[in-house]
Amino acid sequence: MSAHTLPTPYSRPLATAADLARARALAARFFQRAADLPLSFTYDGTAYHGLPAAWQPTMHTRRLDATMTETVWEAADPASGLAVRVEVTAYSDYPVLEWVAYFTNTGAAATPILSDVRALDAAFSGTGAVLHHSNGDFYSAAGYTQQATPLASGAALSFAPHGGRPCDQAFPYYRLAFAEGGLTLAIGWPAQWAASFIGTAEGAQITAGQERVRASLRPGERLRTPRMTVLAWAGDDTRAVNLWRRWYLAHILPRPDGRPLRPHLACAATDEGEEFTAATEANQIAYIDRFQAVGIHPDVWWIDAGWYPCRNAQGERRWPLTGDWEPDAERFPRGLAPISAHAAAHGADLLVWFEPERVDLTRRLAAEHPEWLLHTTHDTEWTATNALLNLGLPACRQWLTDHLCALIQANGIKIYRQDFNFEPLRRWRDNEADDRQGLNENFHVQGYLQMWDDLLARNPGLWIDSCSSGGRRNDLETMRRSVPLHYTDYGYGDHPVKLGFHQTLYEWIPYFKEFSLSWDLAGNSRFDPAVDSFSFHCGFAPMLFATLDIRRGDYDFALARRMIALWRRAADLLLYGDYYPLTPPGRDPACWVARQFDSPETGAGLVQGIRLPAAPEAELTVPLRGLDPAAIYTFEEAETGAVRALTGAQAAAGFPLAAVPRGGTLWFYQRQADTAANLR
């Protein structure tokens, strides 16, 4: 069976008339009158819901493109000049509504106190409310755990991340399911948000926004809310998942140079040293050549932390000593451009790691611009040696943007990887007066998003990898501009754990990277000392990082090439196919993990079964999803070549998988022209 070139989902929204009708009903309820807008705030001691009539609200609508319409509501307090602007986006191809609000002081004096700003404050109707939620990433095997909690009348759930990074011990993505259908909700705020869900007799009351705002705005200052995204759906949770995936791939996934992002193979290598502190121009070029010599051709050449000047007082290179963003002249006398050019000559883009928001106090930037740094004494995480670069200061943000653009252009960087390895919240809050609470955070968020927008605009074709001690800053505003390649710092080679993480990622953020590491064989290492097919099965994701220690000469490179070819055949389906988990979520090494990706447009798909190391059963039978019951499908096992022909109804009744201990099996399938009726 040949590989299939899949259509991207941009032309097939999957939305039904019932889905779109639910979205129109929400739009009619919340976005037809200023007083009904689903936001709330307190100003000068008065609580408001929507925009008050006394502020003389106006509304105008414009078409953004073929699928999106924007409605803008504007109003202003006649006494103080506080202006409110609410931007609402409605999609015609998906049942999605989004909105964000801005509060600007247009007057000549400081405003009264603005507080309790909620980007979402609304009630939703339905019976049997169940909230689906996750706990995000926090360097734990328990991360990305999904829960479903019934919301009986009077029941309440509250969520907020830890320390100011939006996915740290909380996850700003939710599904609220009713018997009649449901809502998918995302809070787009790359900092400290808060949300509450309260069951009512009619359904549920939801509030969400920046956790703390109590501030007087000075003339010209602007505060923004999180961007709220609501997707309405009819049917079951499986439909909700795949409707979200398709909308995300069509409208959120970055499109460098205007083209849909495709799956990528990444490789890296370096000499001994902490992270990439031992990387040099010579060894990076030599390792690129070594991969080519063994027939492995990466799409991305990865240089992580430690390429910049980072010697400590003892003369040791330590990657956490961040702030001097330039190639280390001792190791890269010509910068990184020779490496990027050599990688490009072999078809690979250069990815380079940065962490500009954390500044080590021994670096030159700290001495030259102490006024740009925010400090705290309230925690112990690198407090004495690090400060937060305040992107809320326009001069600071502009300098950083210009400096990064110069580095990107001079060094041929195609993928900008930004990390964020400490908690910013205390550094924001400890530097605010009582009447300025929440502004450091808010202005920093605005500066961070503006910087990324400028990087993308000034460097055509650039794409961004979002990292924050793993996956702790992957809210939807960040994801509009990036992908979370390194979605966690935990368990790179711990297969039961990372396959459990995958179940959440495939539902919510479908483009991510996985390693081919196997810690059950190699211990806790960055590179594999050996190759086996099981490691690659567990590493299949839209980006595969082939963690081969290319310095060794005793690899089975032929096996590695076969598994990479198999991944390339599967990768488009992993990214663009509809997703069906065929086994329950879990992290038990004595279990199987099975999943299916299906492309109804082409009739193609794949079924993957992974028998974890302690699983005693040699076989597992799973019901396949999404197939035409009357159609005939030809199934091919990718490694053995075994072939089966089944109707969709037979496959839905049970598809048998078999694997050796610590093994995997991958079946590709294709719908045939004949149907079961034609064969009778």
In this predicted structure, the answer to whether residue 435 has a pLDDT above a threshold of 90 is: yes
Model pLDDT for residues 533-570, shown as the tens digit of each residue: 999 999 999 999 999 888 877 789 999 999 999 999 99
Give me the percent of the chain exceeding a pLDDT of 90: 91
Structurally, the chain folds into a number of domains equal to: 3
Pairwise CA distance, residues 47 & 38, whole Å = 14
Model pLDDT for residues 458-499, shown as the tens digit of each residue: 999 999 999 999 999 999 999 999 999 999 999 999 999 999
In 3D space, the residue among 172, 249, 141 whose CA is nearest the CA of residue 501 turns out to be: 141
In this predicted structure, the answer to whether residue 7 has a pLDDT above a threshold of 70 is: no
Q: Is residue 509 part of a domain?
A: no
Which of 484, 514, 542 terminates a domain? The answer is: 484
Q: How confident is the model at residue 6 (pLDDT cuts 50, 70, 90)?
A: low
Q: Is residue 498 part of a domain?
A: no
Which of 440, 468, 484 terminates a domain? The answer is: 484
Give the pLDDT confidence score for residue 322 in this predicted structure. 97
The CATH number of the domain holding residue 324 is: 3.20.20.70
Q: Is residue 525 part of a domain?
A: no
Q: How confident is the model at residue 9 (pLDDT cuts 50, 70, 90)?
A: very low
Q: How confident is the model at residue 32 (pLDDT cuts 50, 70, 90)?
A: very high
Q: What token pair was written down for 680?
A: 């009778």
223 & 324 share domain: no
Q: Which amino acid is at 532?
A: D
Q: Is residue 546 part of a domain?
A: no
Greater confidence, 527 or 499?
Answer: 499
147 & 90 share domain: yes
282 & 207 share domain: no
Give the pLDDT confidence score for residue 608 in this predicted structure. 98
Q: How confident is the model at residue 188 (pLDDT cuts 50, 70, 90)?
A: very high
Model pLDDT for residues 36-57, shown as the tens digit of each residue: 999 999 999 999 999 999 999 9
Q: Is residue 656 part of a domain?
A: yes
220 & 271 share domain: no
In this predicted structure, the answer to whether residue 5 has a pLDDT above a threshold of 70 is: no
Q: Is residue 292 part of a domain?
A: yes
236 & 333 share domain: no
Tell me what the mean pLDDT of segment 228-244 comes to: 96
Beta strands in 126-241 (DSSP E): 130-134, 146-150, 156-159, 173-178, 181-188, 193-199, 203-210, 214-215, 222-224, 227-233
Q: How confident is the model at residue 4 (pLDDT cuts 50, 70, 90)?
A: very low
Ramachandran region of residue 257, left (φ > 0), alpha (ψ -120 to 50) or beta? left
Model pLDDT for residues 265-296, shown as the tens digit of each residue: 999 999 998 999 999 999 999 999 999 999 99
The CATH number of the domain holding residue 163 is: 2.70.98.60
33 & 167 share domain: yes
466 & 368 share domain: yes
Model pLDDT for residues 63-100, shown as the tens digit of each residue: 999 999 999 999 999 999 999 999 999 999 999 999 99
Q: Please give the order of strands across the beta sheet that includes 386-389.
A: 358-360, 386-389, 373-374
In this predicted structure, the answer to whether residue 530 has a pLDDT above a threshold of 80 is: no
235 & 310 share domain: no
Could you please report the per-residue DSSP string of 189-207? -SS-EEEEEEE-SSEEEEE
Pairwise CA distance, residues 429 & 583, whole Å = 44
Q: Is residue 522 part of a domain?
A: no
CA distances from 140 to 29, 492, 497, 498 (A): 42, 12, 9, 11
Give the pLDDT confidence score for residue 555 in this predicted structure. 82
Model pLDDT for residues 581-597, shown as the tens digit of each residue: 999 988 999 999 999 99
Q: Is residue 303 part of a domain?
A: yes
DSSP state of 468: B
Give the pLDDT confidence score for residue 602 in this predicted structure. 93
* Straight-line distance from the first to the last Cα atom of the chain, in angstroms, rounded to the nearest whole number: 25
Which of 484, 502, 523 terminates a domain? The answer is: 484
The CATH number of the domain holding residue 616 is: 2.60.40.1180
240 & 270 share domain: no
DSSP state of 461: T
Q: Token pair 């055509």 is at which residue?
A: 460
Give the pLDDT confidence score for residue 12 in this predicted structure. 64
Pairwise CA distance, residues 545 & 486, whole Å = 10
216 & 150 share domain: yes
Containing structural domain, residue 619: 578-679
Mean pLDDT of the chain: 95
pTM of structure: 0.96
In this predicted structure, the answer to whether residue 677 has a pLDDT above a threshold of 70 is: no
226 & 279 share domain: no
Cα 123 → chain centroid: 28
146 & 241 share domain: yes
